[in-house]
Amino acid sequence: MKKRKFGLALSLVLAAGTLLGACGKSEENGGGAAGGDEKEKAFSVAMVTDVGGVDDKSFNQSAWEGLQAFGEENGLEKGKGGFDYLQSQSDADYSTNLNTLARQDFDLVFGIGFLMEGAINEIAQQQKDSHFGIVDAVVDQPNVASIMFKEQEAAFLAGVAAANATKANKIGFIGGMEIPVIERFESGFLAGVQAVNPDIKVEVQYAGAFDKAELGQTIASKMYSSGVDVIFHAAGGTGNGLFKEARDLKKKDPAREIWAIGVDSDQTAEGVVEIDGKEHNVIITSALKRVDNAVKDLSTKAQEGNFPGGETTTYGLAEEGVGLAPINEEVTNKADIEAAVQEWQEKIKNGEITVPSTKDELASFSAE
């Protein structure tokens, strides 16, 4: 049963002060002997991962953390009738997984990532009584709510941090696939570097995949070998290879100052390397894309009967949808980086500058 119908029915029952009202209260507390009815009536939400998987330490994982937080706050359990996910091994699984969750009567089903756009569009038309959410794409269907982000704003701050941290004046960017969402990351990052020092060289390379850690490591190895000392990735699981390469190089030569910057979630834990019994970290910061906040926000709206079907909601710095993780304590000029990030963050929030979201916009961008 959809939340809107349940909410109306529950209100009428409570107003009448009947025995069913007491049962409804018991349901809200997660107790009582209603059993199957209780489980059927509880608002339920699920998601389908893209090929990166739910433990990609990035995009999908952030979305799942958002669903878990929503579930915990509402007394739901993992599984049918509560909150759950299905993992996709390939793009052939998208439609099947979405259809499976819709048929299991989840009140809201998310497709995580732009790769799910076609599948969401297809299944939403087949399952017209179901509600869907899609992240990083826009699907024009009345039962689909689309979630977008201003990734360029978080990436700009990452660029400011990188430009202030580099000593070689050579920085790298590793992208997953050449698609609009990653173009926003790249454009914002390059703009942030340029705003600090237009003479810094940024080497850009795309892996063509979001789930190839070994390819990410190969690209990172070539960049570090060429003299790059800071690399930012927007490549999902492929970026895990960047972290491995940075850790390996740091362990081999502890005196060498090389850094990495994470994406989507705070990836600090991926940068830990032990040297002579002491832990160090090769990650400066991470460009945060709060998929968890967005997924939780949409789930709450849907639960309250305010599902924004047919609409697109965009989250930026002002909406706390993107941001920057804390700066690594080991960076020598940490305070200077923090001050610079804060300064530019305020300029973005108050509209003093508009961060470019495409390469065309970047070409004409000026931070002055």
CATH of the domain at 171: 3.40.50.2300
Give tens-digit pLDDT for 311-335: 999 999 998 899 999 999 999 999 9
Average pLDDT over the chain, rounded to an integer: 90
Give tens-digit pLDDT for 112-148: 998 999 999 999 999 999 999 999 999 999 999 999 9
Nearest to 286 by CA among 136, 193, 113, 157: 157
pLDDT band, very low/low/confident/very high, at 157 (cuts 50, 70, 90)? very high
Please tell me whether residues 208 and 344 are part of one structural domain. yes
Domain hosting residue 8, numbered range: 1-42
Please tell me whether residues 81 and 200 are part of one structural domain. no
Please tell me whether residues 206 and 65 are part of one structural domain. no
Please tell me whether residues 248 and 355 are part of one structural domain. yes
Give the tokens for residue 15.
């107003």
Please tell me whether residues 215 and 337 are part of one structural domain. yes
Please tell me whether residues 134 and 269 are part of one structural domain. no
Please tell me whether residues 62 and 30 are part of one structural domain. no
Inside any domain, residue 325: no
Please tell me whether residues 164 and 220 are part of one structural domain. yes
Please tell me whether residues 270 and 282 are part of one structural domain. yes
Please tell me whether residues 176 and 282 are part of one structural domain. yes
Nearest to 240 by CA among 2, 56, 26, 66: 56
pLDDT band, very low/low/confident/very high, at 293 (cuts 50, 70, 90)? very high
Please tell me whether residues 344 and 283 are part of one structural domain. yes
Integer Cα distance of 154 and 184 in angstroms: 10
Inside any domain, residue 83: yes
Integer Cα distance of 56 and 87 in angstroms: 11
Give the number of domains in the chain.
3
Integer Cα distance of 233 and 3 in angstroms: 39
Give tens-digit pLDDT for 231-261: 999 998 899 999 999 999 999 999 999 999 9
